[in-house]
Amino acid sequence: MAAREFTDEEIEAEVRGLESLQGGSMASAALIGCGERAIPRLRSFLLNGRPRGIYQPRQLAVETLAELGAKSVLLEYLSKPVAIEDAVVRMGEDAVRSTAARELGRWPTEDVFECLMRVGPDHLLPGIVEALGKFRRTESMTYFLWALGDGVCRSCAEEAIRNLGDMARPSLLDAANARTPSAEEEKPSSVQRRRSTLRILSELRVSEADWTGLRNLLEESDPDIVVTTARIALEAGPEPDKWRAVRRLIEILPRADWFVRTEARAALAGHFDIAREQVEDEIARRMKADGKERALDVVLRLLVNLLAGQQNVRPSGSC
């Protein structure tokens, strides 16, 4: 038996049904079953409806339109300028716009790419990052680098850049040294951007020529930047820079958090033939402190355990 065709009034009722947080998914399924006939009313609901703090019905409309193949409606919606003063409403509508961008990633066409690139500079949204990432085009690197400084967008930006592989290298090398607004007054988002940039570079095969442009970062004050730069130096730098990298790894340990300290320890262990002498010297220096200070010295404990792990015997007199 053929499925009953919905009347226009029933389609309108199902569109209104998207407003129900409990029954919205059933209304969406019914509208998908209606096919293209549902698109005009969904378009009106999305483009003419009022953004609200409770954004899920509008988000569901976007997802329903995507399932119906209404690319043109999603492009129209995303291209529509928005100016919302209320912060809660603006955050909700950003979630809707992010979903629209993400759904447009279904269509890797030039008009979609142009729309995302046009809208992107005004809206830092994870859905735009994800959709642009599917195109694997270096024109998007400026947006991806911006997104690295944002806690919400960072992970999808990192994935998008990794997918570009070596094509992203020139932009990453430039970004590693780009401090905004200045070296003296660098914003936390800029520091985070450079942290992520260096981590991605460390996963690529950095040449000695590339390393020349990163060498100065060993003298930074941020532990994460120093440790990642040192790891790159130990893989790609000339011998003097490898020694310098070991020195900076040891010097930065007292200010590093547990995760970064663990990375520094792994880097020292992985290049212990170069690190041994400086590790032993630092242990000897710290062992001169009084007993109470030695007992509380987490760096001394880390270095002693590192040395013992390399020798399979804990040195006598260690704490």
With 80 as the cut, is the pLDDT of residue 316 above it?
A: no
Averaged pLDDT for residues 264-276: 96
Distance separating alpha carbons of residues 175 and 145, to the nearest angstrom:
8
Q: What is the pLDDT of residues 105-152, one digit of tens each?
A: 999 999 999 999 999 998 899 999 999 999 999 999 999 999 999 999
What phi, psi does 160 have (nearest 5°)?
Answer: -65, -40
pLDDT at residue 123, rounded to an integer? 87
Q: Which phi-psi region, left, alpha or beta, contains residue 84 (left: φ > 0; alpha: ψ -120 to 50)?
A: beta
Q: What is the pLDDT of residues 12-23, one digit of tens each?
A: 999 999 998 788
pLDDT at residue 5, rounded to an integer? 81
Numbers of helices and strands, H then E, in the chain: 19, 0
Tokens describing residue 104: 């447009």
**Which amino acid is it at 275?**
A
In which band, very low, low, confident or very high, does the pLDDT at 256 lie, cut at 50, 70 and 90? Answer: very high
pLDDT at residue 319, rounded to an integer? 41
Averaged pLDDT for residues 51-76: 96
With 50 as the cut, is the pLDDT of residue 313 above it?
A: no
Assign 27 to helix, strand or coil: helix
Q: What is the pLDDT of residues 22-31, one digit of tens each?
A: 889 999 999 9
With 90 as the cut, is the pLDDT of residue 303 above it?
A: yes
Q: What is the pLDDT of residues 171-216, one digit of tens each?
A: 999 999 999 988 889 999 999 999 999 999 999 988 888 999 999 9
With 90 as the cut, is the pLDDT of residue 310 above it?
A: no
In which band, very low, low, confident or very high, does the pLDDT at 1 lie, cut at 50, 70 and 90? Answer: very low
- Residue 290 CB-density burial (10 A; 0-12 exposed, 13-18 middle, 19+ buried): exposed
pLDDT at residue 3, rounded to an integer? 52
Which residues in 159-178 are b (16+ Cβ under 10 Å) and which e? ebbeebeeebbebbbebbee
With 80 as the cut, is the pLDDT of residue 318 above it?
A: no
Higher-scoring residue by pLDDT: 73, 207: 73
Distance separating alpha carbons of residues 206 and 197, to the nearest angstrom:
13
Percent of the chain scoring above 90 in pLDDT: 84
Q: What is the pLDDT of residues 291-300, one digit of tens each?
A: 888 889 999 9
pLDDT at residue 312, rounded to an integer? 63
Averaged pLDDT for residues 4-14: 85
CA dihedral for 217, 169, 186, 125, sign (positive or negative):
negative
Q: Tokens 């900076």, residue? A: 248
Rounded mean pLDDT of the chain? 92
